[in-house]
Structure formats: C-alpha cells, structure tokens
Chains A and B, each alone.
Chain A
Amino acid sequence: MLEISIEQLPLYSSVFEFEINQKLVDGFQKSFRTSSRQIPPTLGVRALTCMFELLNRLEVDWMKLLHVQQDFEYLDSLHLPCQVRSQAILERYRKRATSHWLNFTTNIYEVSSNNLLLRSHSTILIAETGGAE
C-alpha cells in the first residue's frame, strides 16, 4: 500500500449519502437468518463504503490484512426511513517494519437534522509483504 506522511493526516473520504429504510434492515436481517425487523447494530457497515474508498485510494491489498477491530458508538436514535450521510477520516497512520496500522473514524449524520447518529472506529493492520496466512 501507499505510505502516508503525517502532514497528509487527517485524510478525508468523499461524503456518502444513502437512505436507511425497512427494506435495507430486512436485507440485513435476512442475511443473519432471523425474522427480526429491528435495526441491526451493525447496519452502520453500509456507511463504511467511504472508508473503503480511502483504503482503495491507498491501494491496500486485502490479502495482506492481518487484523481488524471494529466498533460502533450509538449516539442518537434512528427512525425509519432516514436519509444519512457519512464520511470516513483516516486519523492515525503508523508504519512499522513489517506492517501498516490505520485508524479510521466514520461519522454518520442524519441529513435533515444534522444530528450525529453513529460513530464507527476501525483499526486495520496490513502486512508490508506476504499475508495473514
């Protein structure tokens, strides 16, 4: 992957906008093989498209992925349907001898109110050469 200098940080993705509606929720719940119609806690993954845009821009080779840690913070309630926008920020980058550490924050806002609904933190470790296995 491309190396990043401290001066380049923070690095921002494009803004990504999409609708969260019952159809999207049902699609997730179908994939989890449940009959629940509740909003799944991991639905925010849909907003991580903007983080993947940054990762692609950095030419990350997914076969060299060593470690991922992901969390979601729930900051405000979400009512369906809801138009949201998200933007990912690469806040921290460290290059070690054999690996790249990347720390992203992705904020997800309700478009109409501008309320911050959800914040995602992603820690990704990519090997310099070779892969995880």
Chain B
Amino acid sequence: MNEKFPSFDLDPITKEQILDYADASGDHNKIHLDPDFARAAGLPNVIAHGMLSMGLAASALEKWKISPNTLLKFESKFKEKVFPGETLRAEFISETELPTGHKLITWNLLKADGTEVLQARAEIG
C-alpha cells in the first residue's frame, strides 16, 4: 500500500448513477440507459459511460489531496466496459518527475476481479 496515494474502493456502479451521469453530461445514448437496446446490441446489460469511469478515476486526485489548480493534463485509456453492480478500485501505479519539473502520476481503475477498466495519468505542475 502506497501511503501517499492509498488505493480505495468506489461504491458499486448503479443504473441510477448512470442516469445521473447521462443528465449531467448530456449523453443519453440508449446503450447506457435502455437494457433492451443494450441486449439487442449483444451486451448483457446497459454499460456505464466511459467518461463516467474517467470521472470516477479523477476522484482519486481529490482523495490524494492534489489541488485542482495544479492539474495540467488528465488522460485516460479505456480498456473495459463497466456494468451496473460492478465495484471499481483505484490503484496507484507510479509517480515520476518529468524534465519540466512536473510530476506524472499514473493509476488504474480496476474491477473486483482485477480487470483493468482504464489507466489514468495526471500531469501536475
């Protein structure tokens, strides 16, 4: 366990949360909201927005006491779909210093079985 950037679990993703995110983001694609549509598309259920996962990954910054005023860049590579009922965990990977003097912090968002949902990177000035 990294003491500066401790891992933490997020609450299970819910359909209500996905609906709240659709309202906030303006993305009401049926794949996120309509189980019948999702099943017709070959999925077992609706999927959470990738950007909801990215937003949840960003919550690590506040948890790890990184001031939003120091955030220069935030990046995500999406690896896996997330379904309602799944629990995600944020797990710190590394902190490196860039030639500019900025810090690059990398962490993963993982499912309970260890599947990588996304890899997040933040450049801090």
Contacts and interface: CB of A to CB of B under 8 A. Distances in A.
Interface of A: 24, 27-28, 30-34, 36, 38-42, 45-46, 49, 52, 62-63, 67-74, 77, 131, 133
B41 A63 contact: yes
23 contacts: A28-B21, A31-B21, A32-B55, A34-B62, A40-B55, A40-B58, A41-B71, A41-B74, A42-B58, A45-B25, A45-B55, A46-B24, A62-B29, A62-B31, A63-B42, A67-B78, A69-B75, A69-B77, A69-B78, A70-B50, A70-B54, A71-B75, A72-B75
B24 A41 contact: no
Given A40-B58, A68-B50, A71-B76, A31 B42 contact: no
B86 to A, nearest CB: 14
Interface string B1-23: 00000000011000001001101
A27 B27 CA distance: 13
A39 B76 contact: no
A72 B73 contact: yes
A contact face: mostly helix, strand, loop, or mixed: mixed
B70 to A, nearest CB: 10
B51 A42 contact: yes
Nearest to B67: A38
B78 A70 contact: yes
B76 A27 contact: no
B93 interface: no
Nearest to A52: B27
Interface residues of B, number: 35
Given A31-B17, A34-B62, 16 more contacts: A27-B20, A27-B24, A28-B25, A31-B52, A33-B11, A42-B51, A45-B51, A62-B31, A63-B31, A68-B78, A69-B78, A70-B50, A72-B75, A74-B73, A77-B69, A133-B42
Given A24-B24, A69-B76, A131-B42, A42 B54 contact: yes
Contacts of B11: 33
B99 interface: no
A61 B71 CA distance: 34
B61 to A, nearest CB: 7
A63 to B, nearest CB: 5
B56 interface: yes
B42 A71 contact: no
Contacts of A42: 51, 54-55, 58, 74
